[in-house]
Amino acid sequence: MSEIKVGLIKKDQSAIGAKLTHYGDFKSAKMMLDKDANEYVWKVAFKGNSFDLYDLAKKHDGILEHTVFSFSIENISRLAVEYLEHHRLASYLEVSFRKQRQLTFYHDKSITMKENQKCIDREEDIAKQYLALIMKKTLPENARYMIPLSVLTSVQLTVNARAGIRICQDLINADLKEVRDLGNKILRHIQNHFGWKKLLYMNETKAWNPFVKFALTHKETRFEIFEPPFRIFEGLVERRKELSTISIEGYLSDSAISQLRRHRIGSLFIERLEEADERMLPDGSIVDFKYENEYSAPMGVMRRFKMFLNLRSYENILDQRLNKSAQKEIRKFFEKIVSMYEGS
């Protein structure tokens, strides 16, 4: 098993718009770009002196919003990616499985050698079946329904320092060891960048899981729209799309829900894996699914979800998910949603 790798792509991508106006005496501060050792470092010029931005951060952590990191994360399981991408405060790029032919998998070192070997044998068999489907010209988006969430991939994470620290606080308190290791590695890069040995405002919390347990067990699709009383928004009726909220509730494969997760413009609640009892096969049929462990669950596992967003954001999602190049499963789902919306 390859160890997860977290590398810093560029130490600082601070936006020139960060003028530090909320610092009082620093409101006339001028941002200068200083190229040193092939790294871009922002400095603040004030009263003839230069203050290193990172020294300033030690005195006032408000500068954390203006320091942006891009991390290259390799050898991360698809399950861990779900934990990471749950946060709506960052941007992500993930290697597409449509292009992937050779599959490698994460193995939990805490389980016995016998159990590990059982996982390896099963994964080798799945990898052969997946490749056979690809050779038969099965669409990659359908073939991947059989790939377990233990499969390894690569992700690029872009986030500012404050949001990065908040994300790490969740990750290092997650119930999966792989996710805890990931959080510690990201946090270490941020700490080293500022020269901090310790982040005093990091709080320990209980074991963290981004998924929820649904009170209802229905599997049908639901669509609701909530409109505000426009009479109290005089002159803002043209903003109806921003002021209205819609709720979409449905039942999709983990593979399709991961497409919804790409949109950072709504609130998304996803069912815990242990609640799942069905899976989708590459041919589109749905069969019973027996839960073993989170890593063994295939991308075709069916999960309930609920999404809240305004009408403007809803239209933005439709532009992408009704496109002919979109995954067939999610395209059909949103075609159904559109018909429900038009009938409401």
pTM: 0.79
Q: Which pLDDT belongs to residue 61?
A: 57
Are 226 and 245 a contacting pair, CB within 8 Å? Answer: yes
Contact partners, residue 6, CB within 8 Å, separation at least 6: 71, 72, 73, 182, 185, 186, 189
Instruction: Provide the residue-wise pLDDT of the chain in tens; the chain has 344 residues.
Output: 567 888 776 544 433 333 333 333 333 333 333 333 233 333 333 333 444 444 555 555 566 776 788 888 888 999 999 999 988 888 888 887 776 778 889 887 766 566 667 777 888 888 888 888 888 888 888 888 999 999 998 888 888 888 888 899 899 999 899 999 999 999 888 888 766 666 655 666 778 888 988 876 677 888 888 876 655 555 555 667 777 888 999 999 999 998 888 887 788 999 998 888 899 998 889 999 887 788 889 999 999 999 998 888 888 888 888 888 888 899 999 999 999 887 66
Q: Which of 313, 316, 318 is nearest to 339 (CA)?
A: 318
- Contacts within 8 Å (CB) and 24+ apart, 138-143: 138/282, 139/328, 140/97, 140/98, 140/99, 141/98, 141/255, 141/327, 141/328, 141/329, 142/282, 142/283, 142/284, 142/328, 143/282
Domains in the chain with CATH codes: 7-75+152-194 (no CATH), 222-342 (3.30.1360.170)
Q: In the beta sheet, which residues pair with residue 298?
A: 148
Q: Which pLDDT belongs to residue 50?
A: 41
Q: Which pLDDT belongs to residue 200?
A: 55
Are 126 and 151 a contacting pair, CB within 8 Å? Answer: no
Task: Collapse the DSSP code of 43 into the 3-class scheme (helix H, G, I; strand E, B; otherwise coil) and give the result.
Answer: strand
How far apart are alpha carbons 98 and 255 in whole angstroms? 12
How far apart are alpha carbons 228 and 8 in whole angstroms? 45
How far apart are alpha carbons 220 and 249 in whole angstroms? 8
